[in-house]
A and B are shown apart, each in its own frame.
Chain A
Amino acid sequence: GAVVSQHPSWVICKSGTSVKIECRSLDFQATTMFWYRQFPKQSLMLMATSNEGSKATYEQGVEKDKFLINHASLTLSTLTVTSAHPEDSSFYICSATRGWINQPQHFGDGTRLSIL
């Protein structure tokens, strides 16, 4: 089946640090990848849609200068949390789809980000 790898799985860093999270589709080409955020005891909320070779589309209320997304190839999207602060601490999870019509999304295992 389709496999999506997300790295790192856990990050603890100081306030002000920038953190990069990678999302890779291992066995298929992902024209579209998505980034979600989940706070404790809440559901997943879409942050942005990442299309290969074009700028990401951000959901309302998500700061594009804070959360930089790059989708440079059909198998890799990265999310960089710039100058992270404690309120950015959350569980970040990516997904990928082949982009064809009516295709399921395949999710990575998530990254738990803790900013001290």
Chain B
Amino acid sequence: GIQVEQSPPDLILQEGANSTLRCNFSDSVNNLQWFHQNPWGQLINLFYIPSGTKQNGRLSATTVATERYSLLYISSSQTTDSGVYFCAVGDGAGGTSYGKLTFGQGTILTVHP
């Protein structure tokens, strides 16, 4: 199956700093989503971005599908940005598991005041 690698595994920032999280994947994808998992376990959907660039406030994401990577940018970080960020990809494989996502191991972000 498809492999997903995220880096860095851990990231510690001071409030106000910018950061870039990376997601590499081993095969072509028809779905790529970035999530923020908060301390209560809720998965917050940040971006659906199988290709191209999107922005939402202080967050933006870029996926270069031909080179099999995606980047999540966080600008002017806040303490509420702390948590685990997951990249998940779907490779479009057929059959009854069509559409399933494979998650990376996540990046643990800690933002200090």
Residue B96 contacts which of A57, A93, A105, A112 (CB distance < 8 angstroms)?
A: A57
List the A side residues contacting B41 at CB < 8 Å: 38, 91, 93, 109-110, 112
Of chain B, the residue at the smallest CB distance from A102 is B30
Docked-complex contact B99 and A103, CB < 8 angstroms: yes
Docked-complex contact B95 and A34, CB < 8 angstroms: no
Docked-complex contact B100 and A104, CB < 8 angstroms: no
Interface bits A13-33 vs B (CB < 8 Å: 1, else 0)? 000000000000000000010
Docked-complex contact B31 and A102, CB < 8 angstroms: yes
List the B side residues contacting A103 at CB < 8 Å: 31, 99
Residue B104 contacts which of A43, A93, A106 (CB distance < 8 angstroms)?
A: A43
Docked-complex contact B99 and A97, CB < 8 angstroms: yes
Docked-complex contact A46 and B101, CB < 8 angstroms: yes
Docked-complex contact A107 and B100, CB < 8 angstroms: no
Q: Give Cα A95–Cα B102 distance, bound, in whole angstroms.
A: 13
Of chain A, the residue at the smallest CB distance from B40 is A109
Docked-complex contact A93 and B43, CB < 8 angstroms: yes
Interface residues on B, range: 20 to 34
**Among residues 38 to 91 in chain A, which have CB atoms less than 8 Å away from a CB atom of chain B?**
38, 42-46, 49, 51, 54, 57, 91
List the A side residues contacting B102 at CB < 8 Å: 46
Interface bits B88-113 vs A (CB < 8 Å: 1, else 0)? 10100001111111111110000000
Residue B45 contacts which of A44, A107, A112 (CB distance < 8 angstroms)?
A: A107
Of chain A, the residue at the smallest CB distance from B50 is A102
Residue A43 contacts which of B90, B100, B105 (CB distance < 8 angstroms)?
A: B105
Docked-complex contact A104 and B33, CB < 8 angstroms: yes
The interface of chain B, by Cβ under 8 A from chain A, is: 30-31, 33, 35, 40-43, 45, 48, 50, 86, 88, 90, 95-106
The interface of chain A, by Cβ under 8 A from chain B, is: 32, 34, 36, 38, 42-46, 49, 51, 54, 57, 91, 93, 95, 97, 99, 101-107, 109-110, 112
